[in-house]
Structure 1
Amino acid sequence: MLMGLTVVLAVGALMYQGIADGLVRSKTSSAQQVALRETADVQNAFDATDKTDLTTLYNLSRDSVRRISSPLDDTSRLVVLMRAGDNARPGIPRVSTAGAGEITPPADVRGALVRDPAHQQTKIITLHHADGGDVPAVMVGSRVNIPNAGAYDLYLVFPMDKEAQSLGIVRNSFAAGGLGLVLLIGACAYLATRLVVTPVRSAAHVSERLAAGNLDERMRVRGEDDIARLATSFNAMASSLQRQIGQLEDLSHLQQRFTSDVSHELRTPLTTIRMAADMIHDSRGDFAAHVARSSELLSKELDRFEALLADLLEISRFDAGGAVLSRTPVSLTALAADVIDMHEQLAQKLGVKLVLDAPTDVEVPIDRRRVERILRNLVSNAIEHGQNAPVVVIVRSNVTAVSVSVRDYGIGLKEGEADKVFDRFWRADPARARTTGGTGLGLSISLEDARLHDGFLEAWGAPGEGSCFRLTLPRHPGVPIASSPGPLQPSSVTAPKQIASGTMRTSDGGARLVSGYPSTVGTKKATNALPPTLEGEAVARPRSDE
């Protein structure tokens, strides 16, 4: 619209200026021809007189000026006869027609006639009317020689009233035509915009509703133009997506149903097998050595099988939406210390020092069983992958949230693996032997337990720098978490090389300072960060739809 208006104004201005210049050139040319002819007639009249007294010459001048100012019925022409600028002889006074008495020829025109009296001198001047209006005019000056009086300048002035009127008509016509053209362009642009933008807006609206889960939404197809083909293609894409999503949902429901059914169906035979295995295990002293060893292996594998079955049942409850919380006020520091105590034997076996960093005690309403399960999974994984380096459990709190970060300095996570650690049955290195006998569902269950508390579980890791898992829970149920108080990513300092002191829960329920705490962690309590920063580190928070 704005571009169309600019083009119309530019074209109109160019055309108007061209017409105005043409009228001026035409008027100037005709004025010069008339002035040449009239000047010759006046000169002939002065040359033909045989009386050269000033009175006779003055009367002849008046008659000549009057004659050339009103040819036929044209009374608009103005004439001035006055002494030339280089004529010092006494002679006749200035002679002019009515209305020309106030006209003073410009100095540049008079000077030009002095320098070149043989040629006409032309200039566009402005006439001031008595009504206050101005009109341009063409002034043509010529030299006339009067006997006994010397050189005189004859000025013919041709007002351009008619040309000005014509330009006014042209200007009004251009204004009306330009306005009409702009309105037409605006109407066309509006229609074109409606034809193009309306389907695009419809597509955007349908896309938003599809993204919101309304998979039955479709675009309305009208006509057979490109927009109609776009709508048809869009609807085909939406139908294909709906069909594929439906297939995935059916497959997911089938998988969940299978997991739930198998888990429940296995409980009865597993109970029977467990009873028989316990009897055999209790009597292993009466068997040969290899049979006794087999009974121990049988009991151990049954323990793993029962753990896997329990995890599958828990997952099926999450899938069915049947998981519920049982909140009670729990000291998060004491809970973290209890989890550390549970894993102390395993940590000593693998040469891993467990450290609890909890400056203050924090009591929050949580489901103790579920949060303890989360911490057990995080601590056991850290011990498993710690490679004999310290494992630090950090408890922090702020106004809206509490957090527990479990940091190890082991093999770490490769780029992109932080997004996958919460997937079911995912393992960073499937070929690597496990010490704790996990099922591959621990972090998935931990993630669901965190979400059930309206919290979140995050992971960071870098190869050779270890990993950190951070659990963040609301301090008060129903109050949104503003920010997590605990560390996740390391700060830009070097990796810890020495061991300082930290706080660890003792067997009698108290707390004491022990060796085995990474000093750089202790120095970063106020900055809410962990060492070290690694270029290309992978940090991820599980998506809410996982």
Structure 2
Amino acid sequence: MSARRSRVPQLLGLRTRLVLAFALVAALTATTTGALTFREARTGVLQQSQDAVISQLRAQANRLAPDLDIPPTQDGLRRFASDVAASEPSGAWRVMVTYGELSATSAAGDRFAELTPALREAVRSSVATVFQRVRTGDHTSLVVGMSVAFTTGAASGLRIFLTVPQATEQASVDALVTAVERATVPALVLAVLLALLAARGVLRPVRALRSATRSIAEGRLDTRLAVNGSDELADLSHTFNETAAALEASVAELRGMEARARRFAADVSHELRTPLAAMSAVTDVLDEDAARLDPDTATAVRLISEETVKLARLVDDLMEISRFDAGAAVLHLDEIDLAESLRRTLAARAWTDLVDTELPPPDTLRGRVDPRRLDVVVANLVGNALRHGARPVRLRLTGSTGTEPRAVIEVLDSGPGIPAHVLPHVFERFYKSDAARTRTEGSGLGLAITAENVRVHGGTVRAANRPEGGAVFTVELPLHNEENR
């Protein structure tokens, strides 16, 4: 179904629809015009021929009728029919004359098969001229019947019938059909050419709009369209330019605000480092003398010392985040034994006895990574598991093979897990899972810094809940070791 849907727009694109519409309109127009023209021309040709024949027949009948004895004899009727037929120079007329029960034809033995009983009855019951076109095989004939009156206007009882072949008229009608057919094909070709030109004129600004939209989507906000004319497409281009200009101004303003906020955070963090260093030194001295102070003062000193440590950690994290935001984070890659690096991270923080490890033997899994950033990633994930999860906490390192070898680091805990509504936000900065925004030991930036360090390595990090309970954080890092470079 999806493949069929993807092909429909290609088969019925705007160009195709325009060409088909023009061709259909041209075909209908050409067909209708040709049919109307053919009908009018055919009617004109046949009407002219018919009127000429009837007029000539009436004139000949009125001229010869006074010389015919009434009632006529058989020989008289035959001579009268022959004289009427002889009045046509081409000799194409066939005439039959009747008077009562007598009848005679211009050609001996002519049965006058074209004369239908209906036409004979119509002439008998009417004084008007009656005509009928009769088709026999491939030939069409005009049959005319009329009653001949005396010069005084009284009916003579004499009736005359004429058959005239329509070969010339049929040839003219066939020529009209051929002309209409020949004119229809060029009209369709011209319509298709006009459709292509129209489609090109319509699609050019549409293609330009599509290209400009893609350019905007790729971040080139200074993209603009050339506005030509004053039609709807020109209005659309003008509207697009206004929208792009407004978007560029808004994005520029947002970027400026973001840059100022980053610079402010970096400047504040940098300015706080010196007084924090002095405060840390003072709190260290106070911690050493806390045992000799009274209980209330000792409690206050320890509280100040703890908060100073948290503030120093927050400032360090803010400085680190500022480097990422400014694009100043630089990787210092080194070929290291990943398992040994993870052991050193645990040992440096006295977590060796608190965390169960599943690490490969020495020198089994090596890769080019930034040791300091890898230490931060592992320390933040393990520290988060120890603070918010429950023991046992397990650190696992494995290698995955494929098109690009990767190291997979997993940190698992046995706590209650991460609420479903929190999972999408665990790597956001300063995110708190509860609305009260309670204070924690961390800065609220640890997982965000972890995600940034993984990203600069070209890896991925994700959080999930284990089916058996607890949370699991999975980091995948490309190895980039010497063997696959």
Q: Residues 316 and 69 (structure 1 numbering): CA distance in 2 closer, same or farther, change over 3 Å?
A: farther
AA of the residue aligned to 1:362: L
Contact 1:382 1:406 (8 Å CA) reproduced:
yes
| SS of corresponding position for 1:283 | helix
Match of 1:77 among 68, 92, 115: 92
| CA displacement at 1:288 relative to structure 2 | 2.6
Work out whether 1:363 is the aligned partner of 2:366: yes
* TM-score normalised by the chain length of structure 2: 0.68
Match of 1:286 among 281, 285, 292: 292
- In the alignment, what sits opposite 2:313? 307
AA of the residue aligned to 2:408: S
Supply the distance in 2 between the matched residues of 1:466 and 1:35 (Cα, whole angstroms): 114
| CA displacement at 1:397 relative to structure 2 | 0.9
Contact 1:328 1:367 (8 Å CA) reproduced:
yes
AA of the residue aligned to 2:434: D
| CA displacement at 1:182 relative to structure 2 | 7.2
Match of 1:259 among 262, 265, 272: 265
Supply the distance in 1 between the matched residues of 2:94 and 2:301 (Cα, whole angstroms): 139
| CA displacement at 1:434 relative to structure 2 | 6.2
Supply the distance in 1 between the matched residues of 2:52 and 2:469 (Cα, whole angstroms): 98
- 1:292-314 deviation digits (Å, cap 9, x = unpaired): 33333333323222222221222
Q: Residues 171 and 284 (structure 1 numbering): CA distance in 2 closer, same or farther, change over 3 Å?
A: same
% same residue: 27
Work out whether 1:125 is the aligned partner of 2:131: no
- In the alignment, what sits opposite 1:428? 433
| CA displacement at 1:139 relative to structure 2 | 6.0
Supply the distance in 2 between the matched residues of 1:465 and 1:36 (Cα, whole angstroms): 114
Contact 1:454 1:474 (8 Å CA) reproduced:
yes
How is 1:133-144 mapped onto 2 (pairs within 5 angstroms)?
Answer: 136-138=140-142
Work out whether 1:444 is the aligned partner of 2:448: yes
More helix by share: 2
Match of 2:377 among 342, 361, 374: 374
Q: Residues 95 and 413 (structure 1 numbering): CA distance in 2 closer, same or farther, change over 3 Å?
A: same
| SS of corresponding position for 2:94 | strand
| SS of corresponding position for 1:329 | strand
Supply the distance in 2 between the matched residues of 1:324 and 1:467 (Cα, whole angstroms): 31
AA of the residue aligned to 1:5: A
Supply the distance in 2 between the matched residues of 1:326 and 1:298 (Cα, whole angstroms): 36
Q: Residues 465 and 248 (structure 1 numbering): CA distance in 2 closer, same or farther, change over 3 Å?
A: farther
Supply the distance in 1 between the matched residues of 2:381 and 2:435 (Cα, whole angstroms): 18
| CA displacement at 1:448 relative to structure 2 | 1.9
Contact 2:85 2:95 (8 Å CA) reproduced:
no
Contact 2:119 2:132 (8 Å CA) reproduced:
no
Q: Residues 111 and 64 (structure 1 numbering): CA distance in 2 closer, same or farther, change over 3 Å?
A: closer
AA of the residue aligned to 1:165: S
- 1:440-466 deviation digits (Å, cap 9, x = unpaired): 111222222112212222345699976
- 1:148-204 deviation digits (Å, cap 9, x = unpaired): xxxxxx88242142354256347636854884697479548835862x443333333
Supply the distance in 2 between the matched residues of 1:336 and 1:105 (Cα, whole angstroms): 116
Supply the distance in 2 between the matched residues of 1:155 and 1:304 (Cα, whole angstroms): 124
Q: Residues 372 and 177 (structure 1 numbering): CA distance in 2 closer, same or farther, change over 3 Å?
A: same
- In the alignment, what sits opposite 1:528? none
- In the alignment, what sits opposite 2:400? 397
Work out whether 1:94 is the aligned partner of 2:109: yes
- In the alignment, what sits opposite 2:13? none
- 1:409-429 deviation digits (Å, cap 9, x = unpaired): 6342444x5443333222223
AA of the residue aligned to 1:379: V
Contact 2:85 2:93 (8 Å CA) reproduced:
no
AA of the residue aligned to 2:301: S
Supply the distance in 1 between the matched residues of 2:390 and 2:313 (Cα, whole angstroms): 25
Supply the distance in 2 between the matched residues of 1:236 and 1:292 (Cα, whole angstroms): 66
| SS of corresponding position for 1:5 | helix
| CA displacement at 1:271 relative to structure 2 | 2.0
- 1:316-346 deviation digits (Å, cap 9, x = unpaired): 3223333222323344455556666778869
How is 1:16-31 mapped onto 2 (pairs within 5 angstroms)?
Answer: 16=37, 18-19=39-40, 22=43, 26=47
| CA displacement at 1:118 relative to structure 2 | 7.9
- In the alignment, what sits opposite 1:172? 179
How is 1:156-235 mapped onto 2 (pairs within 5 angstroms)?
Answer: 156-162=163-169, 164-165=171-172, 168-169=175-176, 172=179, 176=183, 179=186, 183=190, 187=194, 190-191=197-198, 194=201, 196-235=202-241
Structure 2 unpaired stretches of 5+: 1-21, 97-106, 147-160
| SS of corresponding position for 1:458 | strand
358-367 or 197-206, which moves further after superposition? 358-367
AA of the residue aligned to 1:8: T
Work out whether 1:68 is the aligned partner of 2:85: yes
Structure 1 unpaired stretches of 5+: 82-91, 97-103, 129-134, 143-153, 481-546
Work out whether 1:4 is the aligned partner of 2:28: no
| CA displacement at 1:254 relative to structure 2 | 1.6
Q: Residues 346 and 476 (structure 1 numbering): CA distance in 2 closer, same or farther, change over 3 Å?
A: closer
| CA displacement at 1:121 relative to structure 2 | 10
AA of the residue aligned to 1:369: R
AA of the residue aligned to 2:454: A
Supply the distance in 2 between the matched residues of 1:221 and 1:183 (Cα, whole angstroms): 30
Supply the distance in 1 between the matched residues of 2:168 and 2:469 (Cα, whole angstroms): 94
Supply the distance in 1 between the matched residues of 2:329 and 2:315 (Cα, whole angstroms): 16
**RMSD, aligned CA:** 5.3
- 1:252-299 deviation digits (Å, cap 9, x = unpaired): 222222222222222222222222222222233332333333333333
| SS of corresponding position for 1:380 | helix
AA of the residue aligned to 1:329: E
AA of the residue aligned to 2:449: I
Supply the distance in 1 between the matched residues of 2:444 and 2:94 (Cα, whole angstroms): 113
Contact 1:383 1:391 (8 Å CA) reproduced:
no
Work out whether 1:240 is the aligned partner of 2:246: yes
